[in-house]
Amino acid sequence: KDDASDLAIFLNWIEKRKIEPHKHLIWNDFEETGRGIGAKDVIKEGETLITIDGEELITTATVLKDEKIGKILSGELERLVDPSQLISIWLMFQNSLGHSSLYFGYIQLLPRMFDTPIYWDQEEIKEITNPLTQRKAIKQREMVHELYLNALEVMNNHRETFNTSTSFYSFDSFKWAWTCVMTRSVYVDVNLHFDSPLKDFKGNMFRGKNKWKENHYGLAPFFDGFNHDPNAKVSGSFNPKKKVYELKSNVEWKKGEQVFICYGHHNNSTLLLEYGFILKDNPNSRLDLKLEVPEEFYNSESASFLSQLGLSPSRSKNFFVDCNGFSWNYLNTVRVLLAKDEEVQSIWNVLEDLPISEQNEKSTLEFVQREALKWIESQSTIQEDESILNSNRLSFHQLCAVKLRLEEKKLMRNALNLIDSKKKMWHITY
């Protein structure tokens, strides 16, 4: 592919749309990120980086108003599972039209491959050693395949429009389209801000589930060229009065700088699962955990206490390790579950960051230390991972996985050191 030619076609297409990027924005290739958007001259704080008319956002409203497939898909809403399928089917259809598509200028510039785990092979998936992250990756792959089979059923009912025997409607094509939607969309409440036929269906569509409430995907041409920086100082939202999506800069960008947006305050496992990359120095780094406590500690009384304290009886909400050690939810859930009958009245101490009792605190720290050591022993060592990284024999996917698990090990080691310090404060011997 001639990338320069593709970009020229895209920028020519943008000029004919109601999409207005700042005059000093320019597409470029950057060493750290690859293709992105930079400033060819100073962009001042407070200036608008881009304005996109609501009609230019590619949403479910776009799909259902499409002259060629809108009516067809409007009649199939009850059979589909998720709003993302509508835009994915539309993307596959537009892609099949080639140059005759009104959106060819945009679609031909979209990446053809991604690095999210649904594109990984089984051996690469095994390199993700955190069970929670690996399970999410496998579940994501299974879910996308199920969404495709469901979409294929719908398209097979209309083969005069969707030639499902061609590669344009294969699983690989759906995977590409779905990933475009999930990695490149802005958040916009389509039900609220757009004249969409979906408003009339609500709970009766998408197999009767409440998935219609998740109708918030909007592909945003040009905007989706901005790369991610967790510290990016920009603000973007849909302006309901002007009916445009606006992105404003909250800092000054110097000439030659890459202009970033923030995809969200995500840790590296989330960035990997949802976008296909990790950050070297991610300020949101954390290791998600599952709390493994014997079932006899769980009963209706303990579940009630946890709920009243705003903790999670399900044992999975906000349980993690970050640079500050084990999360508040993790530690206090353990404290509550280990509390003895005579300590129940002191359970509310946790809301003021006070111990329930001296014995409870010692039991909690010992339990958490055992869990940390158990987790560390189930993993490869930091030295082994560093040796693998230095071997230069890894695919990009394997490289991401090993870097992620190395970061997670360092977080757990630091958390263990913090537990050790707390144990010394309570004079707990090993």
pLDDT over 90 at 300, yes or no: no
Contact in structure between 394 and 361 (CB atoms under 8 Å): no
Contact in structure between 133 and 267 (CB atoms under 8 Å): no
Over residues 44-91, the pLDDT tens digits come to 999 999 999 999 999 999 999 999 999 999 889 888 888 899 999 999
CA distance 206 to 73: 12
What percent of the chain stands above pLDDT 70?
93
Measure CA of the first residue to CA of the last residue in the chain; give whole Å. 63
CA distance 68 to 158: 12
CA distance 334 to 290: 12
Q: Could you tell me which residue, 290 or 158, shows the higher pLDDT? A: 158
DSSP per residue over 335-350, as a string? HHHH--GGGGGGGGGG
Over residues 161-178, the pLDDT tens digits come to 999 999 999 999 999 999
Q: Given this model, what pLDDT does residue 56 score?
A: 96
**Closest by Cα among 45, 25, 57 to 234:** 45
The alpha carbon of 178 is separated from its chain's Cα centroid by a whole number of angstroms, namely: 13
* Both tokens assigned to 340: 């003895």
CA angle 236, 240, 243 (to 5 degrees): 85
Q: Given this model, what pLDDT does residue 217 score?
A: 92
Contact in structure between 124 and 398 (CB atoms under 8 Å): yes
Q: Given this model, what pLDDT does residue 210 score?
A: 60
CA distance 234 to 243: 19
Q: How confident is the model at residue 204 (pLDDT cuts 50, 70, 90)?
A: low
pLDDT over 70 at 197, yes or no: no
Q: Given this model, what pLDDT does residue 199 score?
A: 60
Q: Given this model, what pLDDT does residue 119 score?
A: 97
Contact in structure between 235 and 268 (CB atoms under 8 Å): no
- Which residue(s) pair with 253 in the sheet? 43
pLDDT over 90 at 207, yes or no: no
Contact in structure between 277 and 271 (CB atoms under 8 Å): yes
Name the average pLDDT for the chain: 91
> Helix, strand, coil proportions of the chain in percent (round to 5)?
50, 15, 35
The mean pLDDT of 258-281, rounded to a whole number, is 96
CA distance 25 to 20: 10
Q: How many CB atoms lie within 10 A of CB 171?
A: 13
pLDDT over 50 at 11, yes or no: yes
Exposure on the CB side of residue 222, measured as CA atoms within 13 A: 29
Q: What are phi and psi of 411, to 5 degrees?
A: -65, -45
pLDDT over 80 at 205, yes or no: no
pLDDT over 90 at 147, yes or no: yes
- Map tokens 């599972």 to a residue: 81
Contacts of 416-420 with CB under 8 Å at 24 or more apart are: 416/369, 416/372, 416/373, 416/376, 418/324, 418/325, 418/326, 419/325, 419/326, 419/365, 419/368, 419/369, 419/372, 420/369
Q: Given this model, what pLDDT does residue 425 score?
A: 82
CA distance 70 to 335: 55
The mean pLDDT of 205-232, rounded to a whole number, is 83
Q: Given this model, what pLDDT does residue 298 score?
A: 77
- Map tokens 């606006």 to a residue: 246
